[in-house]
Structure 1
């Protein structure tokens, strides 16, 4: 029997309160009952000795995690078939491999390496302008803005999936849905850019695994939080089953991984096409995604401006949360806020050339995105002045959200947290307390890229000499190479099964 560390000879009536506290802290000691104390100790000892043993073949309804071959017992790596003549030749490559592992710790999607910027020192990778082949015949190109308008539309037509690529993407989606049918409680739904209509040919495929949360039903809007630990554990359990199912498929084996941070999301690489697949859990399609889709239906200029800005940032390595930069949703909301603030300013329905230049100037030079937040509904900007009391009896919900977002940045600045202080702030129009730009901590680099692009485009428009062949205005801003993107697009059209 295990008793407290105080000897019985030291017990006296002078310290009864201390004894009761010691007994209360030990769950295996029941005061005034030796029999119950012995039973508690026996139960505790059994719990330490008995362990769970998993069978070799998983039973029905039991999930067994897949273990890579190199992590299994008795695994020995294959010996190299190349002869080694000098011992020093073995040590040098090992050091190089150790250094190369450092940048690979951050998960990166294929979209972060397919459009690469061209620098002046690069001689063997000239800048390209493949969208010129998609230029529609223009009757009269009277000015540079009209030609830039046509180029932005041509870039849109070049980067969106063509019919052959779209057929393959639809086929991959059908294959994944069929594969997950025995595991998923409901049919997986497509979300993300392929749902909103802002997808590029190399955009990721995002699947939503509908998970019914009864306490948070639509009839009970004030239900518990959707991110509470109980539901997060249920999401992880479902994603583990999806992981086991995906790893059993030859199209995805050894290609499934978990991102290191953020909400539980499962990633997998489709071997035949090279597309990156992401699997999320949730009750329904996110409200932000539906908002972007609805706005795109009413204002088609959103897609062309979004694709132009994304190509510019992606070529500089400033696009995506894996690059600590702006996410697709945040970039789309920046464009939506710009279009709302300039509603009725442009005479023609598109006028994409002038809109694109004004977009770059607004977010590049007119405001400081490190200290100012961007609001979409109602459109505008908010900063430290939002923290001052307004004297209103009932404060609007959007203003309370802005006060909270700016307050978080001010608190971070006071504590010396520069990453949070200078990160991008974009208020979610569907949830005023949500910041869509929190993943972008490289705000100074993002603004600098927009400033340089605006200067180059303005200079190219001023010196434009007419719509001659290979006389592209947009090339001066992008200065990108699309070889890797073309390779992936060819792989999507002709997958290797």
Structure 2
């Protein structure tokens, strides 16, 4: 009978083929008519027989099937370990407790050896976390409504819309920095410009939320040191300037020298150099308690200038932004640290809505505008599939971008017309969400896409991954405000506030900071 190489001596014996033998140099006899010859078959002397002293495989004569089953059983027995249950715990193998004690001793020895070795890694200082304006109100704590002291005394007699509008203005007045604090900020800028004039190439410039007029009392004073020599020429307009290794070295050198000077100055405290991608210096002004951050850049940000220029155009932007931010912080849904929308992203979200409204919308009160804003983003559109654009002010989806491109192609008569910059940016932002969905990245696929009006290819909301929670919060606040206004108009005014029935936050840190700021 003819077999492949795996057909060994034992299987031949089981089929009654005694002429097959396994020798060091085997020779094959002539086969019968039933098995046509196929030439001499090579065998290797290195092949070990299956039957050895340590393992014995049974052979059932004249039955290959039974032989294979028996040999498989032997193989299975060698794979599975036998566990014998003993009545006497002291007999045989050591108990689990004894094994555990031995393993614990070994782990203790290894831990001692590891502790004895000094760590070679240098611990980096923790970057200071920006304080939120408010924090969620804990259970059992009294409700805080500091904005009521800045409202009109006759508000109890008005209707719900006028009362809510008055409360929104009072909240904005409470949150905005006072004139005393602004004087302290101006003093800090002038003082640092004089003390660092021999180190920095240019005097520090105010940027960030305070420059964009979106700050409150506890906001950090962000000061940028412009390094002109590190600007990259012929840089594409659609790409932000990168930070090269040489830039990192220069920035780190400037920041370290500035830190050495300010650590010796009694006017500041807690000076700390943060060695990040781009080094920064964090410190506190001793007299006012204001936090200050210095860092280097080769360019000035454009988005903050865009926000600053938009405020006089739309007076309702500031109060709507303020109340939306406080509402989000009361639910821990604000900031990149919370994997949610940032300050610039929230402002563009409000701006896009206000700019899309008809002309008579500005004549409505702030209360009605807030309700319309919450209704739009909470119930009308799907924020996980819709992009936000502030300039031009519109909402864009995959279908709207396709329709816009088709209309431009049909009007131009060419298959590849020149698309506007904002449309190419919207197409890129939507394509990024679709690509993330195909890759199975649900967070990026559902993130809140907000187009940067100063660079259309930049997504301001790319780190906002909690979009479904944001939409649910907007919808819930709309329902609660609507119910509170109906109760107020019906005469149920025991709460003495409409906004306070929805906004439940702790203003403690903000109140303490406002009292601490003194005249410099």
Normalising by structure 1, we get a TM-score of 0.70
1:449 equivalent in alignment to 2:465: no
Asked which structure has the greater RCO (Cα within 8 Å, sep 6+), the reply is 1
State whether structure 2 residue 361 is matched by structure 1 residue 346. Answer: yes
Deviations 1:253-302 (A, max 9, x none): 54424275x65544334455443322233345421111111110222211
SS at 2:312's partner residue?
A: helix
- Alignment partners' CA distance in 2, 1:115 and 1:452: 19
**In 2, are the aligned partners of 1:107 and 1:322 still within 8 Å (CA)?**
no
Which one of 355, 359, 376 corresponds to residue 373 of structure 2? 359
Tell me the equivalent position of 2:25.
none
| Residues 387, 407 of structure 1: 8 Å contact kept | no
Q: Quick check: 135-144 or 307-316, which moved more?
A: 135-144
**Rounded Cα–Cα distance in structure 1 between residues aligned with 2:349 and 2:126:** 30
Q: Secondary structure at 2:517's aligned position in 1?
A: helix
Aligned pair 1:315/2:340, yes or no? no
Distance in 1 (CA, whole Å) between partners of 2:238 and 2:130 is: 35
CA distance in 1, matches of 2:498, 2:267: 42
Q: Indicate which of 495, 500, 503 corresponds to 1:478.
A: 503
Distance 1:208 1:140, change over 3 A: same
Deviation at residue 340 of structure 1 after TM alignment: 0.5
Q: Is the contact between residue 487 and residue 493 of structure 2 (CA under 8 Å) also seen in structure 1?
A: no
Q: Describe the shift of the 1:181–1:469 C-alpha distance in structure 2 as closer, same or farther (beyond 3 A).
A: farther
> In the alignment, which of 113, 135, 144 is matched to residue 128 of structure 1?
144
Q: Is the 8 A contact 1:324 1:441 kept in 2?
A: yes
Equivalent residue in structure 2 for 1:382, among 390, 396, 404: 396
> What RMSD in Å do the two structures reach over aligned CA positions?
3.0
Q: Quickly say closer, same or farther: Cα 1:295–1:223, change in 2 above 3 A.
A: closer
- Unpaired stretches in structure 1, ≥5 consecutive residues: 1-103
Counterpart in 1 of 2:12? none
Whole-Å Cα distance in 2 between the matches of residues 384 and 224 of structure 1?
Answer: 23
What is the Cα deviation at residue 205 of structure 1? 0.9
In structure 2, relative to structure 1, the CA distance for the partners of 1:222 and 1:446 (3 Å cut) is: closer
Please report how far the alpha carbon of residue 374 of structure 1 lies from its aligned counterpart in structure 2 after TM superposition: 0.3
Give the secondary structure class of the aligned counterpart of 1:433.
strand
Stretches of structure 2 that go unaligned for 5 or more consecutive residues are: 1-124, 410-416
Q: 3-state DSSP class of the match of 1:427?
A: strand
| C-alpha distance in 1 between matches for 2:418 and 2:426 | 15
- Looking at structure 2, the residues matched to 377 and 179 of structure 1 have their Cα atoms a distance apart, in angstroms, of 41
Whether contact under 8 Å (1:423, 1:441) holds in the other structure is yes
Give the secondary-structure state (helix, strand or coil) at the position aligned to 2:162.
Answer: helix
Contact 1:364–1:448 at 8 Å: present in 2 too? Answer: yes
Whether 1:202 aligns to 2:221 is no
Instruction: Please tell me whether residue 144 in structure 1 is matched to residue 149 in structure 2.
Output: no
Query: Equivalent residue for 1:109?
Result: 130
Larger Rg: 2
Deviation (angstroms), 1:484: 1.9
Partners in 1 of 2:154 and 2:447 — Cα distance? 42
1:401 matched to 2:420? The reply is no
Deviations 1:198-228 (A, max 9, x none): 22122211112112147657x9986996214
Which of these residues, 187, 202, 206, is aligned with residue 171 of structure 1? Answer: 187
Q: Select which of 286, 289, 297 maps to 2:304.
A: 289
Contact 1:246 1:256 in 2 (8 A): no
Distance 1:210 1:456, change over 3 A: same
CA distance in 1, matches of 2:441, 2:386: 17
Q: Is contact 1:177–1:187 with CA below 8 Å preserved after alignment?
A: yes
Distance of 2:357 and 2:238 partners within structure 1: 38
Cα contact 1:426–1:436 (8 A) shared by 2: yes
Paired residue total: 384
CA contact (8 A) 2:168 2:323 kept: yes
- Cα distance in structure 2, aligned partners of 1:387 and 1:233: 43
For 2:429 and 2:235, how far apart are their aligned partners in 1?
Answer: 27
- TM-score, normalised to structure 2, is 0.67
The one-character-per-residue Cα deviations of 1:51-105 (angstroms, maximum 9, x if unpaired) are xxxxxxxxxxxxxxxxxxxxxxxxxxxxxxxxxxxxxxxxxxxxxxxxxxxxx96
